[in-house]
Amino acid sequence: MSMAVRKKRLTTADITALKGVRPVVSLTAYTTPIAKLLDPHCDLLLVGDSLGMVLYGLPNTIPVTMEMMIAHGQAVMRGVENACVIVDMPFGSYQEGPEQAFRNAARLMKETGCDGVKLEGGAEMAETISFLTLRGIPVMGHVGLMPQQVNASGGYRSLGRTTAEAEKIKRDALAVGHSGAFSMVVEGTIEPLAREISDDCPIPTIGIGASPACDGQVLVVDDMLGVFTDFKPRFVKHFASLAPVISRAVEDYAAEVKARSFPGPEHTFQMKKQPL
């Protein structure tokens, strides 16, 4: 009797191989139920340290810990059958040097079962990326706007508008592209620069606020679904508007509870009738 062959999940090598073939589809994921919904449609799910702001209400990604990333990485892995899963390395877990980065990256992969890690930084991180990849840890790079450096960079803004700024980002991207990384996020850069980086780098560029010139796109899933209504960055498109739907559902629930119309008989457990 033949047995059904389970489809293998996409690997980091599969993601690299998509460059020049078709755009890479990526979204962030932080929980098992959302991962299950995204998995059939995405090539790559990123357990981003953006969870600090999205789920925990933190002002930025700086306070996010290894324990938080591991817990949510484990949750996402329980919900995937198709997508490649990458987990962000939080601030302070890799900047000290290659050895520190390896210890923490190895821990992330061991404890979550993810396919690789992402770290922010350009030329200054090329040695660390090479160190990790030579020791069996796939790495996704991240150049352009780097949220973990928000305190040093002076805030969130689009980059590459000056010659000096553009040249630095290009150097960073090329350094990451030739360091062994399997792909890289390009965030918050003007379109001509993102196009040039994508053309020159040997690995896929995954854009967020970096135009369609990139080799793929990623968005924070809650932004894409329209869960947040107080602020919408220019680069975000709401493919749904869930905030008012959720609000109306909670309003209806509250009204029915107050009116004692919920729970109704169909939601209530009763004594079973005993046979005569």
Q: Is 215 annotated as a binding residue?
A: no
* Active-site residue, 256 included: no
Q: Which residues of 140-178 are buried (b: 16+ CB within 10 A; e: fewer)?
A: bbbbbbbbbebeeeeeeebbbeeeeebebbbebbbbbbe
C-alpha separations of 262 from 114, 249, 251, 266, 270 in Å: 42, 13, 13, 10, 16
Q: Is 120 annotated as a binding residue?
A: yes
Q: Is 88 annotated as a binding residue?
A: yes
Q: Is 50 annotated as a binding residue?
A: yes
Whole-angstrom Cα distance, residue 57 to residue 99? 32
Residue 174 amino acid letter:
L
Residues 63-67: contacts with CB within 8 Å, 24+ apart?
Answer: 64/88, 64/90, 64/91, 65/90, 66/90, 66/93, 66/104, 66/107, 66/108
Could you say which of 187, 191, 196, 251 is catalytic? Answer: 187
Residue 32 amino acid letter:
T
Q: Is 230 annotated as a binding residue?
A: no
Annotated binding site for 3-methyl-2-oxobutanoate: 49-50, 88, 118
Q: Looking at the annotation, which residues are catalytic? A: 187
Annotated binding site for Mg(2+): 49, 88, 120
Annotated binding site: 49-50, 88, 118, 120
